[in-house]
Structure 1
Amino acid sequence: MTSAGRKCWLSIFVVTIIATLLGHAPARAQIKEGGDLSIELVDPKVLRVCADPHNLPFSNDKGEGFENKIAELFAEKLHKKLDYMYFPQATGFVRMTLAAHRCDVIMGFPQGDDLVQGTNPYYRTAYALVAKKGSGLDEVTTLEDERLKGKHIGIVAGTPPATNMAVNGLMVNAKPYQLMVDTRLESSAEAMMADLMSGKIDAGILWGPMAGFYAKKADPPLHVTPLVKEKTGPRLAYRIGMGVRAADQNWKRQLNRLIQENQPAVNKILLDFGVPLLDENDRPIGAETATKTP
């Protein structure tokens, strides 16, 4: 075989192999309309979101959570169809969804968690103390407050504020709730708020979005105080962004642009769900300041 013949055969062989690979793995590499090659998204025409089907206020399979609403907003802006890969948000969630290329974005992920690559944050919030209005505990702003001594306080076991409670001697009378539950069957946050309303506990400590959501739903509404004045134990305020695969740099940049361009609309969704939004100086972000970035 001549040198030119060998080159021709090699070119045909390489093209054939590439075509075969693409044919067997269409989710990993697809050609968008207009010739734009995407090796990052499961389907360039669809915004595929990794989500828990039973985890309000974040998401559910009825589209009722604030992460569902933000996903709808982004799908509209991207001119894409919206679809979900649902899986309980427990051990194995990232491995079974994002890492398995069954979806392309986790709508809420704490900044700094190395399980995924994070986008820029789109909100900042904190663990919060929830109490009945007029109870006296609705005026408490830190777990060092003497008014909490001897009180029965609900706490989700294994969460950062449990350390703060222990440092301040509040665990003796605390009522723990499970961190990892089957969200199809139970909710630690919902159980804690039910106990607060019935008087089984005097106050509860929950992650901000849960605290705000359930406090707003209660009748009468409960008081929520973000715990941003703690002097001992871990800080309880966190920035939340979206999670993508480590290799998906272009997708990350696109999401960052969407967050920046739509921050006021995102803030409105979060506030509508009762999420206690905070700026970088731990000041609350209300409707009048919701156009600011976190």
Structure 2
Amino acid sequence: MDATPSSNEQLSRYISFTRQSWEKLRDNMPLTLSETRLRALQGLNEHVSLQETTQIYLPLSRLLSLYVAATQNLHKATDTFLETTSARVPYIIGIAGSVAVGKSTTARLLQALLAEWPSHPRVDLVTTDGFLYPKHTLEARGLMSRKGFPESYDLRHLLQFLIEVKSGRPTVTAPVYSHLTYDIVANEVQYIQQPDILIIEGLNVLQTSRMRSGKTARLFVSDFFDFSIYVDAEEKDIERWYIERFLTLRETAFRNPTSYFHRHASLSIEGAIEVARGLWQQINAPNLRENIQPTRERAHLILKKGPDHRVQEVRLRKL
């Protein structure tokens, strides 16, 4: 950590680290991921180097491993006091941030790194996309243009899933979402069977909301998190990444006749940029400003990215 915190940092809830000061905290842990494996974990138009993994994500995996061990010891202490044996409960990590900011890559990378630690070999990952309402429900409620906004999720189902996981239920199922068809996959589920760590990745997982009656909801998704991460970047950079990803998909996934966005595959580059910018300005930017970004300061840790997708600053919340 840098030697003397500034007066602003002393007043902040967070301790800030440069890339270099954060890297020192990995305590010489070796990186076991190969270049080939690392490429397989990356999202479209996002290159995470071995250096980035060593400097940013390896120290983070060490911090999380220490937190997991401490939490497991706390559970054991409670069992000793109560003279009971509790069910095995996963340590839950929430990852939030905008569309196209790199949440999924962060989640997959942490899943791979954490699974390398001998104390928690089983690490599962669930995205909240699976808890979106099916397309026919969104269409019936006039919410297709609000997809990704809080009201487009089956929050009751997601909360029930988390309650069952945290209660130590042996097997819990989560719905599966297809980005190709832009819908929930019928008759397909993901089985979660008491992993050591469960990562929950999604746009609005740190949000506190109000029920339709206007009363404050009693339970939030984040209530079930042991640790939370917000992947942050300047809006202009995220918009550019979103458009670049859209152009890549125009050349790849959109060409599949079963793709929901197949109609965009024949667009010119200029036309595709116009459509992508329109989607960003009409849907994703308002959702970021109204619902996602306001939750940033609720995270235990913030990864602030620069224009090149590399993390420039790490902010860890003070205990």
**TM-score clears 0.5:** no
Q: Which of the pair has more CA radius of gyration?
A: 1
TM-score, normalised via structure 1 length: 0.30
